Structure 1
Amino acid sequence: MIPAAPVLTEPSETAHALARLALTVRLDDLPAAVVAQAKRILRDTVGVMLGGAALPEIRNLAAIAPGLAVGGASLFGTGTRAAAHMAALVNGTGGVSLELDEGNQFAVNHPGVHIIPALWALAEEEGASGAALLEALVAGYEIAVRVGAATKLRGPVHPFGTHTIIGTAVGAARLLGHDAALTARAIELAAGLPIASSQMAANSGASVRNLFTGFTNHNGLLVAKLARAGFCGEPGALETVFGQILGERFGIAVEARIDHFYLTRNYFKIYACSRWNHAPIEAARDLRAAHGLTPAMIDRVVVHTYDPATRLGGGRVANAYAAKHSIPFNVAARLMHGSNDVGVYSDAVVRDPAMVDLIARVTVREDPALTALLPGVRAARVEIRLRDGRVVSAQSDTPIGGFDNPLPEADLRAKFRRLAGFTLDEAAIDALEADLDRLESLARISPV
């Protein structure tokens, strides 16, 4: 006897409202500035995926991916392909590994790298157009930020791998042509499949943290297909998972149409570390330049910043990857080396006795007044007591790369080309950049 079809649960009203909102996004109706910014985010994310593909662990992951799931989606920076969900895992993991991916402070997360690897792979698999990819990206990004802004994560939880999966599922549902009912079902399913991520993974230098992003892409892409296959989620999973399990609070009021676009208020990185380090880095940079500071002149350093940036306050730095998530390391690197580019995050620098000594002199404290400025302002103040008794201080309110202090277009393109150059030659970079510039006119993503 053939089993009867299952009785499906009904998604919550929140899931239905988010689905309806996602389906209001139409490329032809979007302001030109929104489309232009979506293309910048896409180009920046493609660049970090290509750059991250050069890392040994990403190359190894790419080598085994076709054997896990055969398919036609590109594994960035290699000549191989795999099934879309595997490509999403590989490219998503690679894209976050250099810590140069874009982010959005209103989500307290990095929507681009949690969404774009999955959408690119699915667009290749489905033969989707560039316009469809852009439309799915905008819809997924905007939903992801709204869910992130509504979530107050618990202290030990790392944002990566959590609520952004809702945006990944929404974007995938758009590419697959789901209606509002099926999109709501995908949203409810996605809310039940995030990673239970730990902040200490990043702080301790464990690269499992990069897999949080890879599996958000992998799971979010599959969720849209699983909804179509007949699976359903726990009604109210958004409120339960993000308001009680991973988070302390979840409260969202979903508008009927998108009148303000969060993707125009994102940030792009030029420092290869967590964004929570960027304001302290720039305050330290200004003090170094203004006073000609050398490590020998410094008695101790106090960094005043906001919660949750204080999570990066530990003085012990286990390895080069942990250094990207340590305010004491990043301030010390700026004061000693004058740089926070990719090259400074090496085990040699981490183990340098002079750096170890300087890091030990850096303390991180919360300033409630700076916490109160969130989410619009992410500031930090650095105070340095010199050995001659003087105290000097500087504050950074708007680190470079944010919507309130944007990187010039030329700098964004230079970043893209530099990172793409880790795995592509100049001719390939030229062709790729040209295709990304005219993305909305491409009939299919695959030739890119």
Structure 2
Amino acid sequence: MGAAVADTAALPGEPVAVHETFALFHRTQTVPGALPGPVLKQARRCLIDLVGVAAAGSRTELAVLIAAHAATQFGAGTNPATILFDAGARKASPAGAALAGGMTIDAIDAHDGHPLTKGHAGCGLFPALLAIAETEAPDMPLDEFLAHLTIGYEIAIRCGIALHATAPDYHTSGAWVAVGVALSGALMTGANSEIVRHAAGIAEYHGPRSQMMRCIDHPTMLKDGSGWGAMAGVSALMLARSGFTGAPALTVEEAAVTGIWSDLGTRWRIMEQYLKPWPVCRWAQPAVEAALDLRSAHGVASDTIGRVRVRSFHEAIRLATARPADTEQAQYALPFPVAAALVHGRLGVAQISGEGLRDATVLDLAERVELSESAAFNDLFPAERWAEVELELTGGRVLASKPLTARGDADAPLSDAEISSKFHALMDEAGYGDRATRIEDMMMAGAATPATVSDLVACCSASS
């Protein structure tokens, strides 16, 4: 796999031991049957979830705009890649398809994440690695692709933890996803250790170190930078293969992060992933969970609620939008999704988009949601995200939840049935319900139903 590459100048110093570890890890874990059973199952769960979110995201204005941009500005050339669920069934270069795919998934904030990265690896990894595999190894067995995706998670998550440990600003996921894509993509295409090292260095230098809290305070289509990071990672790999040189990636090679990489292959970070029950920022989900618990336990009708009080950690309280103008603002909000959940008894894509944004009952209740910060919850963030909710009823009675985290964390995972239900609901809402069972069977069955990268691409094409 992979095209011939030009001679590449050596980076300063000798490649550190972690690069040798990458190569060994890749060789041992891509052998059929090598991944531990629970790890492979978790990769399948993450993949099916990402596909469902991509389908739902493709119906947003953000996705329509970015797909058109990728198709027109990132020329497909002689070896084009599919743009995920693009209504026009257009193609682009692998970097363009990675950009569009990452932003399409990010358009609906329902994808998986890792608490210590405060962000999302799969959102950028999946479309980037799929675009590379489609153009260079379309006959790759799906289980082999899953192994590469799993390795991508292990590398990208550690890149994210390392960046947060060494950089003072809170950067979007794209900053470290770029390095994860470059490294795992290089390994997947059989690049030598020198090219792997240059690809990581280029990706880290050019990855989008955008400030996450600016997007929290001013939600727009910028989102979490995942698509831009996916594009930067693919571009870094292609550049390194052509002879372009880069500086050492500090999130991989700096002495201060050695411990983060020391357990590669023994500690499976993908098992620490959360999968979301609701399509909004993870920081808002504990409050949504607490509100729904109170509604269910006490049979509360929304028209009997006078005020809602939410206590959570600082970053969650920054999600203060009560009257979102668009789906981006609705996803990076706390009062609005809490109110929508209390009114409708659920929180799906319909509640944070389209007519759901103009629901007068929800908007009225959202204006009566009061937010406050808890020092105790601040101390637990980011490893744990907590909230508690009080409902003050119009008659004066106060119903108080216990402190809660949202379901879907590693210690309270969504069941396979819940993930399946979420997947089918997302596919149905996106208009792809007729293929959902076929996709689910292919992804979850494994070797019993052999499939290839081409089969996966076909499932993620609007023209399938």
Counterpart of 1:133? 145
Q: Distance in 1 between matches of 2:52 and 2:13?
A: 37
Counterpart of 1:369? 376
Q: Distance in 2 between matches of 1:370 and 1:329?
A: 21
Instruction: Report if the CA contact (8 A) 2:172-2:209 is conserved.
Output: no
Equivalence map 1:226-237=2 (5 Å): 226-235=239-248, 237=250
1:327 counterpart = 2:337 = no
Q: 1:10 to 1:155 in 2, by over 3 A?
A: closer
> 5+ unaligned residues in a row in structure 1: which ranges?
244-248
1:147 counterpart = 2:154 = no
Q: Decide which of 220, 224, 229 is 1:206's aligned counterpart.
A: 220
Q: Distance in 1 between matches of 2:54 and 2:355?
A: 25
Shift of 1:327: 1.0
Instruction: Report if the CA contact (8 A) 1:299-1:384 is conserved.
Output: yes
Counterpart of 2:300? 293
Q: 1:431 to 1:8 in 2, by over 3 A?
A: same
Counterpart of 1:110? 120
Post-superposition Cα deviations, 1:218-260, rounded to whole Å, max 9, x if no partner, equal 11112122122222333454399x99xxxxx978542164211
Letter of the structure 1 residue corresponding to residue 153 of structure 2? Y
Q: Decide which of 186, 191, 196 is 1:178's aligned counterpart.
A: 191
Counterpart of 1:283? 290
Instruction: Report if the CA contact (8 A) 2:161-2:260 is conserved.
Output: no
Instruction: Report if the CA contact (8 A) 1:306-1:366 is conserved.
Output: yes
Letter of the structure 1 residue corresponding to residue 293 of structure 2? D
Q: 1:12 to 1:386 in 2, by over 3 A?
A: farther
Post-superposition Cα deviations, 1:260-304, rounded to whole Å, max 9, x if no partner, equal 111112122221111111110011112223334344544433222
Shift of 1:366: 2.5
Post-superposition Cα deviations, 1:330-363, rounded to whole Å, max 9, x if no partner, equal 2111222322111111354444454344223223
Instruction: Report if the CA contact (8 A) 2:339-2:365 is conserved.
Output: yes
Q: 1:299 to 1:37 in 2, by over 3 A?
A: same
Counterpart of 1:196? 209
Letter of the structure 1 residue corresponding to residue 416 of structure 2? E
Q: Distance in 2 between matches of 1:416 and 1:352?
A: 25
Please, which moves more after superposition, 183-192 or 416-425?
416-425
Counterpart of 2:39? 34
Shift of 1:381: 1.0
Instruction: Report if the CA contact (8 A) 2:292-2:345 is conserved.
Output: yes
Q: 1:365 to 1:230 in 2, by over 3 A?
A: farther
Equivalence map 1:35-50=2 (5 Å): 35-50=40-55
Q: Decide which of 302, 309, 314 is 1:302's aligned counterpart.
A: 309
Post-superposition Cα deviations, 1:396-420, rounded to whole Å, max 9, x if no partner, equal 5342222222222122223223333
1:437 counterpart = 2:451 = no
SS at match of 1:221: helix
Instruction: Report if the CA contact (8 A) 2:176-2:229 is conserved.
Output: no
Equivalence map 1:387-402=2 (5 Å): 387-402=394-409
Counterpart of 2:84? 76
| Identity between Structure 1 and Structure 2 (%) | 29
Instruction: Report if the CA contact (8 A) 2:66-2:103 is conserved.
Output: no
- The RMSD of aligned alpha carbons is 3.2
Q: Distance in 2 between matches of 1:297 and 1:11?
A: 68
Give the TM-score taking structure 1 as reference length: 0.86
Counterpart of 1:246? none
Counterpart of 2:281? 274
Q: Distance in 2 between matches of 1:75 and 1:343?
A: 24
Q: Distance in 1 between matches of 2:64 and 2:320?
A: 32
Q: Decide which of 362, 373, 391 is 1:355's aligned counterpart.
A: 362
Please, which moves more after superposition, 140-149 or 190-199?
190-199
> 5+ unaligned residues in a row in structure 2: which ranges?
1-6, 457-464
Q: 1:318 to 1:131 in 2, by over 3 A?
A: same
Aligned residues: 436
Q: Distance in 1 between matches of 2:284 and 2:234?
A: 31
Q: 1:309 to 1:66 in 2, by over 3 A?
A: same
Q: Distance in 1 between matches of 2:381 and 2:230?
A: 28
Q: Distance in 1 between matches of 2:34 and 2:144?
A: 13
Shift of 1:328: 1.2
